[in-house]
Amino acid sequence: MPDVEQTAAAPNKKLTKEEKKKQKEEKKRQKKALKEAAREGQDLEDEEGTGGALTIIFVTFLIVVIWLAILALLVKLDVGGFGSNVLRPILKDVPVLQMILPKASEEELALQGEEGAEDYAGYSNLKDAVEQIKRLELELEEAKNGDVSKDEQMAALNEEINRLKTFENNQVEFEKIKDEFYDEVVFGENAPGAENYRKYYESIDPESAAALYRQAITQIESDAQVQEYAKAYSAMKPKAAAAIFEQMTDNLDLAVKILNTMNADTRGAILAAMDPQVAAMLTKLMDPDQSQY
């Protein structure tokens, strides 16, 4: 009997182990299924969370765009003067944002023009104002140079006027002396008398008398002119006068007459300032002994 019971118990024990093994496998399978289900649920939650975040961002962006569009529309329509009075002074110089501003009225444009004129002294931008300043500086410099030239011209004209006045005064003095000479020679106390002059001129050939008269007048005028030249050159600086005499090589006789009319000191200073060769030529011509040959 004991053997039979042991034999019957052995299969039961063996079945129990198989059941346990199956149970373990079943548990493992169930755990794996649970893990996979949990993983699939987590992925589904992640996908749902990502999609929800994107939806929220898109909706938020859409709301912001709508509000900005509404705000831009209100500014463009200038509701309550918000666009023209508040935003225009701030955004008028911003390249893109200034497009949402309402159209400026004629009064505002005129006011902006006046403000721009005050900002740039009547110019639309600073570059134009700087260029105008440079042009004005150049014109000022040219005007200064022109004033210097005008001053020089005025000084030269005044000098010429004074010289002509000297000639005029000398001419008047010469005419006075000439008249006195004629009166003294013809009508003076020791003069031969007007009748004697009349007889003398009637006795000579008319053509000869006219020639003698012209020669006498020419000589008198020439001497007076030489004296005027001498006075003018004496008033000049020796170096300047010497430079002029050096250019008179084609009329050295006149140069000699002028120099002989001057006083010795003035003549010597001018000759000393001349080119030595020209001075030597004039000195030879001024020699009384040389002029006799």
| Of 290, 219, 231, 282, residue with least CA distance to 261 | 231
Task: For residues 7 and 241, give the distance between their C-alpha atoms in angstroms, rounded to a whole number.
Answer: 168
129-188 confidence digits (pLDDT tens): 778 778 888 888 887 777 667 777 777 777 877 776 776 777 777 777 766 666 665 555
CA distances from 143 to 138, 140, 192, 281 (A): 9, 5, 69, 48
7 and 14 Cβ atoms separated by less than 8 Å? no
Take residue 272 and report the two structure tokens written for it.
């000393």
Q: Is 192 helix (H, G, I), strand (E, B) or coil?
A: coil
Domain boundaries, the chain: 1-103, 204-293
- Give yes or no for residue 6 having a pLDDT over 50: no
Residue-level pLDDT at 63: 92
